[in-house]
Every structure is written in structure tokens, then in C-alpha cells.
Structure 1
């Protein structure tokens, strides 16, 4: 081994003065190397291996005398047994103690997960029989400024073989690798992270600093409030609000009292705020192009009986290009009722009802806030994108599709893993602050994920000139289509050549998607009917789903190992859909939270029944969130809105194609006119 080290030093050109004209004697090098930490030794070995190989006489793999074989499969079996890990890079090494390990050979698993790597045992060193080990690597990439791809490899695991192996053949057998596994305990497509384990990925380094910068100014405020609460000296909601930075609605009230509670502002935020959502026409006034409806069916879910969360049916009308609420129908349970489908009393309110109208609007705002957090934000962006992220990481390695999608899928499972305990679950903030129980939230999310599909999706058109969100959405969707088309024009042939990976990506998506969900009302009103009031572009094809025997929410891209006619276009549509929700849609819902959910009395996740009933005024603090929930709400709204890292235009990791960056930058002025600073749109979901 010492002679091997001497040869290594000489081959690398480490010359110096003194004995042997070598900078370090092999004995000194061995002592220095053995003192390094394991991670440092492994890094050095990989750094030196190419130089060592380059200094040797090239050998044809077919002439190498020894071979290592095996098969790599996922830890969890599929319906038909073991699931192969295809196209994984595998390296064979000789482990050494106190000196750099020796690289012996490399190869890739085939479609069945099998590898066969030839090597020369003499590469282990003079007089040294190899201590075999196989190491596994996944691809990473960056883009150069000219759009060319630079590939690197990240080690994800290893398996030790025998020590001092003197034979010319070794079979590692079937190796089960716990790699991007699905959580079998949930009906949703979620990543399995064991209690003792960590996710198979990590945040970019700059994201931690961004989080610290965002949270540091308000962390002490929240801690002070919570300590005062525990000591029995909790400040009231007004004091708590004043301690935090001023949000949009507080500033509006300071400058023009009543402006943030007006009917006009209510409609404006449904068009352009964080609440921006699909506006169906009012089915009860067919043919009226100015009449719209929003409906939130909360009575379908289990509630805690403490908070008041009625069914909310909002009727709206466009008047001179502005949207106004004209009627709000509440389906109110009795206080304390918890069961799904509890009896309700329906009450209708109009602007003529004065204080009760204001209270009804407040309940509607709270309803819209909760629906946004569970639907537009957590469901349609975070959890929806996670299912594509898992399937992509499990299957896309050779296919250039990875270069298009991975920059937008890289961190979503990390933030979702945190949200599983922080926001939802038995002690999550949404569970504690809203009327929905843990079971109610789980059911709602399952219904939501059961209604999202990439096929046929396109942003709904604006309902009026002032519908800035819809106009910005349409512009982003258009530019995203240009980006995806250009990518496929450049790499489409290789995408087709590696269609096996697309097939398995699609199979994983469908197999783990939530069951398609269509509520009874829509089943009766939409499939097979014209229903011109129903906006179809942003929703899954209800006609197709209700006719399938066991429909899944996510449609298959392909069911064959070679693309059939139309399937390349389907794949382009899926890519466009995923990137849209990982970027623009998430940015709009997330970044506006401090503006729309930065004042406790304006909106929150849940109003309590209180002594005077949930329809009492804002002055009744028994209805508002208690002090501990109030300060948590403001802390969370600020943190989510202000923590941003990984912007598309900054392209910090250089993993987004520069063409997309320049395409968005060229239209920055158009986005700014619509109220969006495109520099604030992140390339992926990491908050």
C-alpha cells in the first residue's frame, strides 16, 4: 500500500525537496490520511480517483478479468413484486483503511435494476486483495449561460461486499435501497420519512439564511406574547397586532377607516388577493354574465364544535368592472355540533342587513382564508406538486425531462414534511386554530387532491379588466408554454428514446394518486350536461372521471414503453402544469399572506362561537382567536410571506434553463403592470 501511495503522489506531480524528491513520504501521507474524518477521506478518494485512472494504461472493459454483479430494487415492493431501480450509476471500490479507497469500475443498472461491472483486482494495489464495495449515485445538473448542461453525481448509498476477495466473480445479490419511498400509511402520495430518518434531499444553503432573516425580527415578539400568556398576563388582540409590522388592512384602516371592510375591497381580494380562485357563474341566474358564485361546503367535514365554520354560499356581481358581494347564505350548525353532515340552519344576508352583513362577510373571509390555505396553497401547490416530485425522483435519470422538471421539484418534500407536524396533524396550527379536526382536515385534503389533474388544465380567463391575477396567470402560462415547447424542440428525440422512464414516472403517479373525487352536487349538475356556468378549464374532466370504474385523480401520460400518437403533447402539458403550480401559483397564494392574513380581526383561520354568537361584531373578542393563536397566526403569515429563496430570475443554483429566466425577465414590465414583481417568483416550493 505504501508503494501505491508513493506512485499516486508521483503520478499527481507532488514533488518537493528532500528524500525521494517527494513532498510527503508515503508513511507521512498514510498518517495524515488516517487522521481525516470519514467524510473527508471519501471526498478525497473521489477527487483523486480520476487522476489515478488517468495515470494508468487504459484497459478495455471486456478484457478485465473480474466482474461484480447484482440487482438494485426499491425497498418497498409494488403490486407485482420487486420494483427495479433503473439507470442508477453504480461504482465498484476497494475499501482501504488509513489510505484512499481504490476505484475499480463503474456502470449503470439496466431496466430491470441489474448491473454487471468488470474490474481488475490489481487496481486494489500491489499485494492487496480488494475489499469490495458498491456505491450508488444519482445525477445532478446545472446549466451554463449558453444552455448547455453540466452533469454531476451525488452519492446516495453503498453496500459492502467481502473483504480480501480473491475470486474473479462476485454477486451482490438483490439490494433493496430505501429510495424516495411512498408512505403507505396515507391515501395521498407522500414521501416516507421514518421517525429516525431524514428526507433523501436537502435545502439549498442560502435558504436557511433567508429563513433566519425573515423570522428574526418577529421571533422575540411571538415568544414574549406566549410567555405572557403562560403567566396569565396575555395581551389582548389589539396589543398583539400593534407589536407586529403593519399589514395592508391595518394601514388601510389607519388612512381611511372602513375601507378594508368595504364590499368593494371584499370583491377586489377575491379577484386579486391571496384568495384568488375560480369564479363560477351563478347557476341560479342562467345567462347573466355579471353574476358569480363561490361555495365552501364545510358542513361535509368533522368540526371541533368550538369554532363556527358554516357552509358559505357567496353570490357576487360585476358592477362597472368591479366585483361586489350581493348575498351571503350561511349554513349554520348548532354550537357544539361536530359530526359531518350535521343539521344546519340556513340564513341569508344582504348589504341591507347592516351589522349582520358585516359579520357574514367576516365569516366568508375566514372561510376563504381557510380554503386558500388548505386548497390553493397546501393542497393544490404543496401536496399536489409533491406527488410529481416523488415520481420524478424515483424514475427520471437518463431522460432529459429531468433537466426541465427537477429545478421546480427539488425541495417541496422537505417543506411538506415540516408542514405535516407544524400546520396539520394532531397539534398543527391549522388543526388548533380552525374548526376542522385532524380527521376533518385529512378528509378535506383527500377530496382536494382527488380533484386535481394535469390533463386539460389551463388558467381560467379574467372575468373583467381589473382581474389582474387571471391576466398575470394567463401571461405566465403562455410564457411557460413557450419554454416547454423550446425544451422539447431541443431534447424531444432523447425524451422519446428514454420513454421507459416516462412510462414508469406515469405509472407511479397514477398508482399513488388519490381517488378521483366529485361531490354529489357536481355529479348531478355537470357530467353529461352543458352547464355553461361551470368553469372547466382549471378542473379535471368530470365526464371522464365519473365513467371510469375506479378513477384516479391524476391521468396517465402513457401506458406503453414507446410514445403513442399525442403522448408527447400530453407530456408537455404535464410539465407545464407542474412548473406552473410550483412557481407562479404558489408565489401568488403564498407571498400575499401578510397582506390578506396579517390582521387578526380582519381574517383568521377560525372564529369561535363566543358568548354572543359567531355573528357578533369585531368588538366581541370572545369570537376572535385567543391571544396565543393570534400571535402564532401573525408569526406564521409573516414567515410564509417574507421567507423567499430560490428565485427563478436569480437562478442561485444555476439549475433552471437560462432561456426561461430571460423569457420572464423580458416580460417583467408586463407582470409589474398586473401587480406581480416577477423577481419574487421562486423556482420551487420551499416555504
Structure 2
């Protein structure tokens, strides 16, 4: 590294530390709170002292600028625009399902001898519940249309106005939000979440900065033990403090495979129902030149009601085998009798599992997949009560996804792409392959395969909670849901239209196998359920409805859709996200990739991630789990429906019997 690069690196780290310290200061927090309050506007009450035929009016039509579809049920305010002053309120209105509106106003409201300079304000609203559990809306200005000056006409037609509201990103393979530098984000974090982020980062950013600066000046420093000691101890380290060696035991190894951050879906032997296996096979993908990429399979036997690991098969690439379908070394199989080699094979599997968890189960399945539903919900749900179900869970997602694109999968600095073994192009390839099979229709959690399969038990219990909650909600709000069904039809149309094309794909954690088949198909693609074709492409995501008037099947589809989306946004993301430090916070236990052959002592720094990768990994997994804000039962933003909170709380003891605290279920993806 040349001197100018070193200086820039050091200055950049100092800036990051200074920036987070300022943001986390009392002044910074006060500024954040002030900015949030400033964005909120009070909806004006419209009163006229004249009959309507003596008033002027403005009419027009609003459409999305990316589709020319009507922008329906959006709240509007008409103002007289005055330079240098706040302006004068004239009237209010709302668009109909054709995007059309009419607003009456009294020209005299513009002021004495002042003809109105028209300004139309589009208002976004967010809903929270008051102490009586009644919904209350707060508003902010989403967009402003500047009309003509000095309007004399009694009736003025603004015509058709195209609005850049929750736009889809053009030319994106996935349904992603288009972020405009001029308009900014349409969905800011809550103040509480912003402040929690500052708190979480303020203690961790200086640690990473110290390591990066030290390494910039002294390339062989700090040592990996020094890096590890600087960060908080994670779960595996705490377990070993209590019971030395437990985190490396076969018992804990199997427990993490079925109940960990990446709860693997196992295959069952077709001839012997007591034999199982799981695998990570990467033959289809290009690897980088810094890390090892190993195919790995673990085999199990169900003895009584206990799953036991019996062997691990590792197949490695040659050092120069970068391309997909490269020549592989002969597979090598290890058993518990192989001592150190068995332990090293388990570490190789843990590394594969953690990498797949971070890339697929965390980023793709939760963050990336849920953006398609989030955009469609904000574009279309304003009057339908289903908005009360989805809004508290989809909010903030587009913001954190934009951040995740940078910190997880950016080609140059992303954790997955720089610390993992695959090239950025291969990561994108897996994103495309994975999303192409995901859908809400027919999905439900896997069934437990043995007594110790607590993840499956907890997932099914939470699925039951959501089923009861949605049954109650739909019974209470059925008339309004049906009345405003057009919003659901448009929600469904947007989702399907912007869905990726369906492509049958075998998950990268598996391979065709004549001897084994999935023990459970609940979470896998259901090719027998029909899909729709648009412009010659079969869409991965199925429609909720094809009608402006629902039948009973449509209602059940909507319930099923809501249950799936809420499940992923809350429980699934909570499970995966909050286990990151547990499974990636100890360098010698696991990492996103190994090096130099992968086999060897845990204490060998040549096999572990390099110095910068090591501190970046532990820093990131700690930050992403340290932000403690946005939980269902805490309901910090007062927007979680009471029906969900009370139903979940009624199951507290049942979850506790599985050693799971329902207070840990996050309400949304905001980290």
C-alpha cells in the first residue's frame, strides 16, 4: 500500500469514528429528534363559510410516473404558495381509484388582494394506535406539485400529473425501490431506531478503526487473538467458559445444524428412514483467488430420538480451479474416529453454513425477497385495513436494504463478497436463482424431525400464533377489507408484474441424489400450484387475486399471503439476524471462508481470515445484532395491532417451554 493510500485509509477511519461519536452525542440525538418532528405535518381541517357553488376548485389526475397507473386514495392539500412565508392553506382532498381529485377552495384564503399561486401537496401517512387502541394518522409531505401563479379561473384543471412515488428501480432484475437523490427516502427510520443505531455503533466503530489503522501502519498487526479479545465474547466463547470444549462437541455441532443461524433442511435416505444428510455444493459458481471453496456433506443417523453426526465428506477445488464446474479433488470422508481431522471437517462445514446463512437465509430470503412486498404495500395500501397488518413490519426495510447492498454484497467492500469465497458475479447469480423459486403460496414451516428439533417446533408455534391473529383480524375487519378490495387487487398486480421469472432450481445446499429426498417439502417450491405468465414469462410470485370483488378463495389467499410475509419479516429475520454474533463472532469457531487448504489447527492464522477480514467480520456481526429496537411486544412505535400482541403474549409459556423468549421477536427488518 503506497503512502497516500495509507493516509486516506487512516483519515477515513478517523472520520467514521468522529461521525458516529457526534451522532451519538446529546447534540446529535437532539438534532435527529428535531429533524423527525420537522417532517411531520398536521392535516388541516377544511371549513368554508360559503356554499360550494361560490367556491373555486382545482381538479386533476395523479398517476405513478413509472407505470402511468392511477395513484389512488392519496391525501392532498392545496396551498397558496408565498415566497419567503409559510403559505396559505386553501383546501384538502383525496384521489379516487382513477387517481382523480377535486379540491374546493376560497380564493380569499390566499390573502387580501392576493391571487392564489397554487401548490398541491401529497401527504403520506403513518398509523399508530392511541391508548384506546384506536388508529391515529400522522402525515408528512411526500411530494409537491407547483401549479400556476395568480390563478383567476373558478375551475382550474392541473391535468394528468406523473408522480415519482415509491417507484420501481428500472432495469433491475429484482423488484427494488428507485432512490432519488433529489427526493430521498420515502420511509425514514423512526427516531428510536436511529438513536439505537448510534448507540450500537459508538462502542464498536472505534475498535475496528484501531485495528484498521494499526494494520495500515504495521501489516502484521494486530494478531487474531488481539482482535478477538477487543470485541465482546460471543455465545460459543461463553459456552466454553462454562463447559470447556462444548462448542466444538458433536452434540453442539448437530444442534447448530438444525437449530442454528442456518437451520438446515435435511434429506432422508429413501431406504433407511433413520439416515439423513445435508450438504453445501458450490460446483455451479466461480470462486475468488483468496479463499477456499469446499463442497461438504454431513451424514446423520437418528438413534432413538437423537440425531447423531456419523460422517463428513469434503471435496475441495484445486488451487487454480476458479471457474464453475472446475475439476475437483477426490472427496475425502471423515468420521468421529478421525480426531483432529474430524474437528477440522466440522469447522469447514460450519464455515460453509455460516456463509450460506449470511448470503441466502439472511440477505436474500429476508431482506431482498421482502422488498417486492414492501414496495407494493406502500404503493397501494391506504384505506384497506390490511395495511394495519403489514405496515409495522414493512416499514424501514427499503432503507436497511440499501445499506445491506453496501455492507453485505457490494463488490468492493461487502462482507459476503470480500470475506466469502465467491466472486461478486456468483453472489448475484445465487440471488437470481434463489429469488426465482420463492413464493408465499403453499408455504408453511417444516415439521420437527426429532425431539431436539426446537427451531421447527418454535417456527410452527409462531405460525399458529399468526394463524389465530389473522383469523381474529379478518373477522373484525372483513367488511372494510372487502369494501376496499381494489387496493388488494392492485397490490397483487404490482407484486406479480414485478416478480422475477420462475426458474426451477435445486438449492445450492443440495444436489441431485438418487438415494435421498427432502424429509419435508413445506418450505420448498410447489411446482404443481399454477403460476401466471406475463409477456411470455412465468412469474415466480403468484397472485393473491385477479378480481376487484373477492370470493372466499381470494380472502383465504390474502390471509395466507399476510401470514407468510409477517412470518419472514418478524420471526425468520429475527432468528437469522440475531444469531450472527453467536455463530460468526469467534474467529476460530467459524468465518465466512477459510484459506490455504482449510484443514489445520484452529490457531493457525494462515487458515483463518486475514487481519482486516477478521476485524470487519466481528465488527459487522456485532453491530447487526446490537441494535435493540423494534420488537413486537415492546411495540416501541405504537403501531403493532393489539390482536397480534395479545395473541403472541398468550403463548408465552409454550414458547418458554422450548427455551425461547417471545420478547426477542423483532417486529420488522430494521437491522
TM-score (structure 1 length as normaliser): 0.87
Displacement of 1:436 in angstroms is: 1.1
The counterpart of 1:222, out of the listed 185, 189, 208, is 208
**1:102 maps to what in 2?**
88
**1:279 maps to what in 2?**
266
1:350-499 correspondence to structure 2 within 5 Å? 350-351=334-335, 352-427=337-412, 428-499=414-485
Displacement of 1:170 in angstroms is: 1.8
**1:338 maps to what in 2?**
322
The counterpart of 2:130, out of the listed 140, 144, 164, is 144
Displacement of 1:509 in angstroms is: 0.9
Q: Using a 3 Å threshold, how does the CA distance of structure 1 residues 331 and 573 change in structure 2: closer, same or farther?
A: same
**2:197 maps to what in 1?**
211
**In 2, distance between residues paired with 1:477 and 1:125?**
58
Q: Using a 3 Å threshold, how does the CA distance of structure 1 residues 679 and 137 change in structure 2: closer, same or farther?
A: same
Does the aligned pair in 1 maintain the 2:208–2:615 contact within 8 Å? yes
The counterpart of 1:683, out of the listed 656, 659, 667, is 667
Pair member with larger Rg: 1
Match status 1:296 vs 2:296: no
**1:550 maps to what in 2?**
537
**1:158 maps to what in 2?**
144
Does the aligned pair in 2 maintain the 1:545–1:551 contact within 8 Å? no
Match status 1:586 vs 2:586: no
Unaligned runs of 5+ in 1: 1-38
Secondary structure, counterpart of 1:671 in structure 2: helix
Match status 1:86 vs 2:76: no
Secondary structure, counterpart of 1:432 in structure 2: helix
**1:36 maps to what in 2?**
none
The counterpart of 2:62, out of the listed 59, 66, 72, is 72
Question: Number of paired residues?
Answer: 631
Displacement of 1:89 in angstroms is: 1.5
Displacement of 1:145 in angstroms is: 4.1
Q: Using a 3 Å threshold, how does the CA distance of structure 1 residues 60 and 315 change in structure 2: closer, same or farther?
A: farther
Does the aligned pair in 1 maintain the 2:42–2:138 contact within 8 Å? no
Displacement of 1:287 in angstroms is: 4.7
1:610-635 per-position Cα deviation (integer Å, ceiling 9, x unaligned): 2xx22223233211100111011111
Displacement of 1:432 in angstroms is: 0.6
1:451-486 per-position Cα deviation (integer Å, ceiling 9, x unaligned): 211111111111112211111111111011111111
Displacement of 1:74 in angstroms is: 1.5
Does the aligned pair in 1 maintain the 2:499–2:541 contact within 8 Å? yes
**In 1, distance between residues paired with 2:107 and 2:665?**
53
**In 2, distance between residues paired with 1:684 and 1:643?**
12
**1:132 maps to what in 2?**
118
**1:308 maps to what in 2?**
292
1:182-201 correspondence to structure 2 within 5 Å? 182-194=168-180, 198-201=184-187
**In 1, distance between residues paired with 2:519 and 2:420?**
29
1:638-658 per-position Cα deviation (integer Å, ceiling 9, x unaligned): 111221211111111111112
Does the aligned pair in 1 maintain the 2:531–2:541 contact within 8 Å? no
1:489-533 per-position Cα deviation (integer Å, ceiling 9, x unaligned): 1111211111111111111111212222322699x999xx99964
Q: Using a 3 Å threshold, how does the CA distance of structure 1 residues 487 and 60 change in structure 2: closer, same or farther?
A: farther
**In 2, distance between residues paired with 1:490 and 1:502?**
17
**1:658 maps to what in 2?**
642
**2:250 maps to what in 1?**
263
Displacement of 1:546 in angstroms is: 9.2
Does the aligned pair in 1 maintain the 2:531–2:540 contact within 8 Å? no
Q: Quick check: 402-411 or 183-192, which moved more?
A: 183-192
Report the RMSD for the aligned CA atoms in angstroms: 2.7
The counterpart of 1:514, out of the listed 486, 494, 500, is 500
**In 1, distance between residues paired with 2:295 and 2:468?**
41
**2:313 maps to what in 1?**
329
